[in-house]
Chains A and B, each alone.
Chain A
Amino acid sequence: MPMIEIHNVNKWYGDFHVLKNINETVEKGEVLVICGPSGSGKSTLVRCVNRLEEIDQGEILIEGKNIHAKDQDINQLRAEIGIVFQQFNLYPHLTVLRNITLAPMKVKKIPRDEAEATALALLERVGIGNQAHKYPVELSGGQQQRVAIARALAMKPKIMLFDEPTSALDPEMINEVLNVMKDLAREGMTMLCVTHEMGFAREVADRVIFMDHGEILERGTPEHFFTSPQHERTKAFLKEIL
């Protein structure tokens, strides 16, 4: 059974048709990269997968379960899907450690010492094991984003969503975040990544989709995508970012 199935999804903001008949399937352990120009609906699509946005038509299934069903427990669903934002969105009033342990303790009722042990191990894994007791503002952008990834991983999610995780970073910090994401991909995490980091896409993506004006215009392996794009707009887009 596929991890994520998106069937005929349509969504409007008022009159604005932001997602147009989206169909996509992501298998367990697959890494899907979503790219496209600004305003094309990439963030909206990703946010529909954990129901931060509602859809108007169609359905999204996670392991066969319709997550936009009325009786779906939304918090239960989100506990299994990690999300990482462009702006990190760490909680500034909590230490790095508390940022990571909060959801496991409150949502999954994991005891504090166990949650802290997990958090410290995750921080170690993303390369900032010695920063646990600092506040987010005391860290660099790249470190903050790695904390955000650790925070999402602390819930032991089945799926990780990334919405332009490196776009707000200074160039010299991009790789430290991408490396963490690459490790995750290699460990078999199912990932949806909105990113324009084409090196990342080449290296770890199983498939790339290109969105424009709310539609998926082009899809294929990174190989196909970079060497023989079919659509004019894909070619124009690639020319711009490469």
Chain B
Amino acid sequence: MEHFWQWFSGLFANWGVVWNNFDYLLVGAYPQGPLGGLAMSIVMAVIGIFGAFWIGLAAGLMRISKRPWLSWPALIYIEIIRGTPLLMVIFWFYFFAPLLMNQSVPETESAIAAFIVFTGAYIAEIVRAGVLAIPKGQMEAARGSGLSHTQAMVHIILPQALRNMIPSFVNQFVSLTKDTSLAMIINVNELTLAARHVYTRTMKAPMEIFLTIALLYFAICWVLTAFSRRLERSMARYQARTSHDR
């Protein structure tokens, strides 16, 4: 019994390390210092997914174009990125961006650029598949009524395709949220690096600290996945109803 209490109070004390540094894990030194921790992870993931959406939309549409000068660059971009580990892309941007731009680029910005370019390639494939999944009759009806190809895309094809793609986008967002932890390698103060800071500063309670951040990642991804499931269910309903229309 005595042993148990010793062990238990020790555990309690160690959770205290987490508790005392919880704000640092959540927001870094903010508002006195720079933003960091979980907030930084989320900021990078959100900016990353929005940037990747536009790049992926453009690349995905270029990829299905009949014009080779549009489809080839998109194909090369997509295939190169999909065959490269994210860590490598992070290094490219970290080492080459300053050389290219002839000035220093902050780590956070170069990490976000890497996330955008990396995730964009996957979104491009989602967009391509989504557009190709729309029945051909939709484009024919639209063109047949006098709409231009672009108008048909904007008003008929993309609204349907993008709606069907929402669950896949959420999945990419979940992946990206976890992958932001790789940015610690170039010293971006996101959640994983913040945890390491706390540990090196206190030299205590590694288990508790890393368990806490694992739970934080899990909580975010779980909420997003649950949201995605719900969307998928309502999408399934929408599709079941529209399949009648083909």
A130 proximal to B (CB < 8 A): no
Chain A residues 179 to 214 lying within 8 A of chain B, measured CB to CB, are: none
Contact B145 A155 (CB under 8 A): yes
Which residues on the A side are within 8 Å of B138 (C-beta)?
89, 91
> Nearest chain B CB to A68's CB is how many angstroms away?
16
B141-167 CB contact bits vs A (8 Å, 1 = yes)?
111111110010001100110010000
A151 proximal to B (CB < 8 A): yes
Contact A79 B145 (CB under 8 A): yes
Contact A106 B151 (CB under 8 A): yes
Task: Given the known inter-chain contacts A106-B155, A136-B245, please indicate yes or no for A89 contacting B137, CB distance below 8 A.
Answer: yes
A92 proximal to B (CB < 8 A): yes
Residue of A nearest to B149 (CB): A75
A79 CA / B147 CA spacing, docked (Å)? 8
Task: Given the known inter-chain contacts A85-B141, A89-B138, A91-B156, please indicate yes or no for A76 contacting B146, CB distance below 8 A.
Answer: yes
> Nearest chain B CB to A173's CB is how many angstroms away?
14
> Nearest chain B CB to A169's CB is how many angstroms away?
13
Which residues on the A side are within 8 Å of B144 (C-beta)?
50, 52, 78, 83
A33 CA / B144 CA spacing, docked (Å)? 20
Which residues on the B side are within 8 Å of A115 (C-beta)?
none
A225 CA / B111 CA spacing, docked (Å)? 74
Which residues on the B side are within 8 Å of A136 (C-beta)?
242, 245
Q: Pick the contact of B163 from A76, A89, A93 — CB < 8 Å?
A: A93
Q: Pick the contact of B137 from A76, A82, A87, A102 — CB < 8 Å?
A: A87
Which residues on the A side are within 8 Å of B66 (C-beta)?
none
Contact A144 B141 (CB under 8 A): no
A103 CA / B241 CA spacing, docked (Å)? 24
Contact A87 B246 (CB under 8 A): yes
Residue of A nearest to B239 (CB): A92
Residue of B nearest to A103 (CB): B145
Which residues on the A side are within 8 Å of B246 (C-beta)?
87
> Nearest chain A CB to B61's CB is how many angstroms away?
18
B3 proximal to A (CB < 8 A): no
A110 proximal to B (CB < 8 A): no
A91 CA / B244 CA spacing, docked (Å)? 12
Which residues on the B side are within 8 Å of A155 (C-beta)?
145-146
A88 proximal to B (CB < 8 A): yes
Q: Pick the contact of A75 from B135, B146, B241 — CB < 8 Å?
A: B146
Chain B residues 201 to 246 lying within 8 A of chain A, measured CB to CB, are: 241-242, 244-246
B109 proximal to A (CB < 8 A): no
Contact B245 A90 (CB under 8 A): yes
Chain B residues 192 to 208 lying within 8 A of chain A, measured CB to CB, are: none
A50 CA / B141 CA spacing, docked (Å)? 12
Contact B241 A78 (CB under 8 A): no
A132-145 CB contact bits vs B (8 Å, 1 = yes)?
00001100000010
Task: Given the known inter-chain contacts A136-B245, A137-B245, please indicate yes or no for A106 contacting B147, CB distance below 8 A.
Answer: yes
B179 proximal to A (CB < 8 A): no
> Nearest chain A CB to B206's CB is how many angstroms away?
52
A152 proximal to B (CB < 8 A): yes
Which residues on the A side are within 8 Å of B159 (C-beta)?
93
Residue of B nearest to A81 (CB): B144
Contact A93 B160 (CB under 8 A): yes
Which residues on the B side are within 8 Å of A50 (C-beta)?
144
A163 CA / B142 CA spacing, docked (Å)? 16
A76 CA / B245 CA spacing, docked (Å)? 28
B140 proximal to A (CB < 8 A): yes
Contact B244 A137 (CB under 8 A): yes
Q: Pick the contact of B140 from A76, A79, A85, A144 — CB < 8 Å?
A: A85
Top 5 nearest A-B pairs (CB, nearest first) are A79-B146, A89-B141, A89-B137, A103-B145, A107-B146
Contacts A/B (CB < 8 Å), 10 sampled: A75-B146, A75-B148, A78-B143, A79-B146, A83-B141, A89-B141, A91-B141, A102-B147, A103-B145, A152-B145
Enumerate chain A interface residues (CB-CB to B < 8 A).
Answer: 50, 52, 75-76, 78-79, 82-83, 85, 87-93, 102-103, 106-108, 136-137, 144, 148, 151-152, 155
Enumerate chain B interface residues (CB-CB to A < 8 A).
Answer: 135, 137-138, 140-148, 151, 155-156, 159-160, 163, 241-242, 244-246
